Amino acid sequence: MITIEHPKEVDDLIVVRVSGTATKTDYEAAVPELENAVQLAKGPLSVLIRLENFQGWELEALWREIEFTLDKTGKLGRVAVLGETKLEEWGTKLSAAVAPTEMAYFPSDQEREALTWLRS
């Protein structure tokens, strides 16, 4: 499941919560809101991704994620991932190596640090 939040206290930031297994259907439902957030941002849109009881991506959903990210080159700011496992940390580091934007992993109890990094 994917849900998107728009914190009012921080401009040009969205919070994406991903739980369970992210499916292509989940991602397709989220894309219009993601597109809208990119369009409304005054600058590059920063993203805080919260992985909660995350079980992984279906292959089609992962591919759609990659397409979306590459299509938004220059429109996305930093991406911080809050996770719970070493596998999620490893996955973030692997993604960061090929992503067209800066990405960093933070343990789920370091949200404040992740937000500080997103704003710097």
What is the model's pLDDT at position 100? 80
Which of these, 33, 7, 2, 37, lies nearest to 20 by C-alpha position? 2
Joined tokens for residue 27: 């991602």
What CATH class is the domain 2-119? alpha beta
DSSP helix/strand/coil, 64: helix
Nearest CA to 69 among 26, 98, 33?
98
The domain limits of the chain are 2-119
The whole-number pLDDT of residue 73 equals: 67
- Per-10-residue mean pLDDT of the chain, 120 residues long, equals 87 92 89 88 92 86 70 81 93 83 95 94
pTM of the model: 0.88
